[in-house]
Amino acid sequence: MTKHDEYESPLAHRYASREIKRIFSPRERASTWRKLWLWLAEAERELGLTQITDKALEGLRSNLLVSDEAFQVIAEEERIRRHDVMSHIFTLEKDAPDAAGIIHIGATSCYGTCLSHDFKVSARESLLSVSAVTDNADLIFLRDALRLILPKLAKVIHNLSTFALKFKGLPTLAFTHYQAAQPISLGRRAAQWAQDLAMDLEDIEYVLAGLKFRGAQGTTGSQASFMEIFHGDTAKIDRLNEILCEKAGFEACYDISTQTYTRKVDLRIANALSAFGASAVRIATDIRHLAHDKVLDEPHEATQTGSSAMAFKSNPMRSERICSLGRKLSNISTNFSSTFSSQWLERTLDDSAIRRIDIPEMFLLTDALLILLDDVTNGIVVFPAMIRSQLEEELPFMATENIIMKLVHKGVSRQDAHERIRVLSRQTVETMKTNGTKNDLIERIKKDDFFKPIWDHLDGMLDPKLFIGRSAEIVEKYCGSSGPLTGKLEKYKDYIDSTATATLAV
């Protein structure tokens, strides 16, 4: 049997980067647990627990990376014990026998026999409970994954900002209700996409900045066992958590924990990433519509096949994939909301299995979307002639308000002018829809003596740039060198300048 005979998640296999997959890999998870056990032992030793020997610490330090052989032992232990963390503990004891008895001190009844007799701790209480190991590791993974995706998101925003500035003055037809509306510039539309993603950047930065450590809080968060271990010295308990935070790279622990850190943390992160998923779908959907109109397109390779049947087709498959993955991500926060609200009192284990799936997946989805968005936004192909052609089909209608005002300046009644424009416009639309002809409203106006006072002005009133208002200025103010978007991206400048455009695996 090979890997081709077993199911493999396409999210990991086809779409996400190696960097994000490494963070949530079994080896990274297991090795991080071993780091946590080492950090706890080092901190306890520093605070006076002499039962933790130099040999024990050296044994832990020498076995931080979980080997392939160790994974085989872990699998066998878990089959016996039906407890993932305990299977790792017993395997680490075999790898580092000098550390036996000080790993995961006082954690559970089945491990209580390993305790030194000097530790007067109930087996129901712990210095570092099972969930403290898994939860602290999860917080590390959440932090590292957030740090990985933020620069990638910044680069996508930078791509759109560059695009917006390049096309800030190119008039294009706007759409409301997916019907033709007052023109804007193509750059103004891209600036809207960039602003949506900038909001996502702010949200993700916010949840990262607020992320804290669980630390060592005991099985229900009361720190009762630590009071016993440190003989009521609360200063040592506080210092223990300070040391653990320093080692793990966190500023502080959450003020309140139960047996776990509150699952509200997961929900806040999921909300931010789900919102980004919605933005990705929104942008890609716009690109798909515009590709249909042939005014722009996503990048295509020369050998790319659009359809197995229709050889002429060139489909926006990247944008369609963004919509597909983004739909999944934008809805994943529902799972985290249900998990958070379903926790009973100080903790129930029905959070475990779903978090094993959803936490990695929400980040792999985010990473996959950012790879796609980087590729698309850095290679959007614009067709100015098609944009102009589309605009000219609707521009006569857009000009009618200005035509009415020009007639008023010539002394014509506004109501009369409005009625005459309405009649000619309806005739034009009827002919276009019935016969498939082009928009001939201006020709109709030029043949109608009612409009004779402004005939000489008509051609000059049809310059598309007259209809896009302050679009170019708006883009420059937002995306330009002194605009707020540039300021938001400043901290990511080195990454943006040094990173090549993402390459799709498939």
pLDDT at 219: 83
Q: Which of 177, 231, 308, 498 is catalytic?
A: 177
- Counting residues of the chain whose pLDDT is more than 90, the rounded percentage is 73
CA distance 107 to 259: 12
Report pLDDT digits (tens) over 393-423. 999 998 998 899 999 999 999 999 999 999 9
Give the pair of three-digit tokens for residue 498. 């040094």
Average confidence (pLDDT) over 320-349: 95
Is the predicted pLDDT of residue 382 greater than 50, yes or no? Answer: yes
DSSP 145-194: HHHHHHHHHHHHHHHHHHHHHHTTT-EEEEEETTEEEEEEEHHHHHHHHH
Is 333 a residue of the active site? no
Min mean pLDDT across 142-156, 189-203, 382-396 is at 382-396
Report pLDDT digits (tens) over 143-170. 999 999 999 999 999 999 999 999 999 9
Query: What's the pTM value of the predicted model, to 2 decimals?
Result: 0.90
pLDDT at 130: 64
Average pLDDT taken over every residue of the chain = 90
Name 37's Cβ contacts closer than 8 Å, sequence gap at least 6: 60, 92, 103, 104, 128, 133
Q: Which of 62, 122, 307, 341 is catalytic?
A: 307
The more confident residue out of 496 and 83 is 496
Average confidence (pLDDT) over 44-71: 92
pLDDT at 379: 95
CA distance 259 to 277: 31
131 pLDDT band, cuts 50/70/90, is low
Q: Compute the C-alpha angle 117/123/127, nearest 5°.
A: 85
Is the predicted pLDDT of residue 200 greater than 90, yes or no? Answer: yes
pLDDT at 224: 87
104 pLDDT band, cuts 50/70/90, is low
CA distance 362 to 354: 12
C-beta neighbour count of 306 within 10 angstroms: 14
Name 7's Cβ contacts closer than 8 Å, sequence gap at least 6: none
Is the predicted pLDDT of residue 185 greater than 80, yes or no? Answer: yes
pLDDT at 129: 55
Is 418 a residue of the active site? no
The more confident residue out of 128 and 385 is 385
Q: Where does residue 325 rank: exposed (0-12), middle (13-18), buried (19+ CB within 10 A)?
A: buried
Min mean pLDDT across 160-169, 170-179, 455-464 is at 455-464
Among 18-32, 219-233, 308-322, 343-357, name the most confident range.
Answer: 18-32
C-alpha atoms less than 13 angstroms from C-alpha of 462 in its C-beta half-sphere: 17
Which residues, listed in sequence order, are joined to residue 171 by a DSSP beta bridge?
Answer: 185
pLDDT at 229: 85
